[in-house]
Structure 1
Amino acid sequence: MSPLQAIKFWLIQHLGLAKDALHVHVGLLLFVGSALLFRWPLRSWKPWAVALAATLLGEAWDLRDSLVYHTRIDLWGNLHDVWNTMLWPSLFVVLARTTRLFGGQAARR
């Protein structure tokens, strides 16, 4: 088992989260955390790109682990993980750009 898989299983076990919930939480943490850390507005593509890059790297690592440890490759499962991780960051960017909810451009019109 790779270090990434060990960390994921540890988090799932000790936080009481399902694997899908872990993806949702990580996506939100990366999106909001990078926006706060770098003072990027939520309407910016940058925090979304941070979440997407981490998601794709994580899924690439999962695929690598499947090859190295001779486990089943589940591309639909990987796509499902990307969907779970990126849903809320994507919706937040759209809402920040099109509504007044986050004080974005729509609020200044």
Structure 2
Amino acid sequence: MIDTIEWQDTKTALATLADLSRDALHIYAALIIFLGACWIFRWRARSVKPWALVLLCQCINEYVDMQNMLADDGVIWIWGTIKDTVNTMILPTLILLAARYTSIFASVPDAALPDAALPDAAPPGAATKHDSNA
């Protein structure tokens, strides 16, 4: 079982150390989890997997927060939970939708790029290392 008070203290310490509000901490954590999952597991941003991992982490976080609320006040403040979930999920959702339904994250093979866009492209008429006369 997760120690709810220790978890709250950890989040407060992180927010203080980073000089962020708790709401901003949700946004940064979501991006770190989403992009980190894409990098570590080699998942594409268009896949639902990194988005689902962020949602899972958010649900666990809110469960622990609710346990703490019940221990402190005996009441769960549902609007705070909703606000935290929206703050956490908004950017991963926008990235997922952009990756799936736009060409923002599309990779273009080198063959489709004009010669000037290639990194080793020489100006027109210039000798290249592939020329036999050079």
Please indicate, yes or no, whether the TM-score normalized by the shorter chain is above 0.5: yes
Larger Rg: 2
The list of structure 1 runs, each at least 4 consecutive aligned residues, that deviate by more than 6 angstroms after superposition, is none
1:96 paired to 2:133: no
Post-superposition offset of 1:52:
0.2
Match of 2:20 among 6, 17, 21: 17
1:44 paired to 2:47: yes
Give me the TM-score of the superposition, normalised by structure 2. Answer: 0.74
Match of 1:32 among 2, 16, 35: 35
Q: For the residues of structure 2 that align with 1:65 and 1:54, how far apart are their CA atoms?
A: 17
1:55 paired to 2:58: yes
Give the number of the structure whose residues are more often helix, by fraction: 1
Kindly indicate whether structure 1 or structure 2 has the higher relative contact order, using CA contacts under 8 Å at least 6 residues apart: 1
Matched residue count: 104
Query: Cα deviation per residue 1:53-105 (whole Å; 9 max; x = unaligned)?
Result: 0001100110011112336521001000000000000000000001111117x
Q: For the residues of structure 1 that align with 2:89 and 2:72, how far apart are their CA atoms?
A: 27
RMSD in angstroms over aligned alpha carbons?
A: 1.4
Q: Any stretches of 5+ residues in structure 2 without a counterpart?
A: 108-134
Match of 2:70 among 67, 70, 90: 67
